[in-house]
Amino acid sequence: MRLEGIIAAIPTPFHPDETLNLEALESNVKRWNDTSLTGYTVLGTTGEFVSLTLDEKKRVLERAREATPREKVFLAGTGAESTFETLELTRWAAALGADYAIVITPHYNRRWFAPESLVEHYHRIADASGIPIVVYHIPACTGLALEPATIAKIAEHPNVAGIKDSSGDVLALQETKRVCPEEFAVLTGSAQILLAAFTVGASGAILADACAVWDEPAELQEALAAGEIDRARAIQMRLAAFSREVVSNRGIPGVKALLDRMGFYGGPPRLPLLPLAPDAADDVERAYQFLKALMAQRALRGDS
């Protein structure tokens, strides 16, 4: 399946006692199945993969895969600090039927890493994974920024299919697109630079925002493809304001609080993350309602 369009980075639901709520996960996914989303990333940052045991990760992936129709692309977060552990979960996800494994850069020992060690890490996984690999680049969380030249070396492996670049650096994303093979998919992880990312060649986006607003980023991509630059720019401005308030400023608790307000199941994050206070949850709901109202007004006027 092609890596393109708008893919939601979905959260992992927990009960109030922070145990897995797989029934809520299944219910959420089935509701998203009826949207314009291209697919899902399960066990990304929004999925709190760092807070789950290996057994829990397998249970989440299994339930989400069961609930996801085959026409939706399914990316399984399988990254860990060691190549050995990453391969174990990646092979398991391949046997489960994941379309791609999305693998975060290992980072704990980054002060001793050389670029060659990261290239070898991804190539070793790609050699034995059983499914294509997507590099997950999120330096704000890992403290490790991949240079485009290093990404290009990783991309030389035919089983490394693309990258989710959550750096927010448009110039680096542009250079990555330039130096990597044409078939190597570059996707942004930031709604705040979505228009710029598409302009320099990104084929899609993997967004936590898309759990709540899936039509708006898809409409932006469609407007740009149709040459309607003013319309695309207007959507970007509205979407960026929403993303700042909900995702950038509030993170995983913000996404979960908004899902609760929308009638999905958000539930609590796992400690050490804390749920939003009621007034902060009000703020994210207002940001959502404001975006939806603006988009509805634009649709009624038939302009940008």
Residue 300: the pLDDT is 63
Q: What ranges do the domains of the chain cover? A: 5-226
Q: Would you identify the CATH topology of the domain 5-226?
A: TIM Barrel (3.20.20)
Which residue is catalytic, options 153, 164, 177, 256?
164
- Residues 248 and 236: their CA atoms lie apart, in Å, by 15
Asked if residue 43 lies in contact with residue 93, where contact means CB atoms within 8 angstroms, the answer is no
Provide CB contacts within 8 A for 262, sequence distance 6+.
212, 288
The pTM for the full model equals 0.96
Q: Which residues of the chain have pLDDT under 70?
A: 298-304
Residue 302: the pLDDT is 63
Q: If phi over 0 gives left and psi between -120 and 50 gives alpha, with beta otherwise, what is residue 147? A: beta
Residue 57: the pLDDT is 98
- Residues 286 and 3: their CA atoms lie apart, in Å, by 32
The answer to whether residue 153 is catalytic is no
Asked if residue 115 lies in contact with residue 156, where contact means CB atoms within 8 angstroms, the answer is no
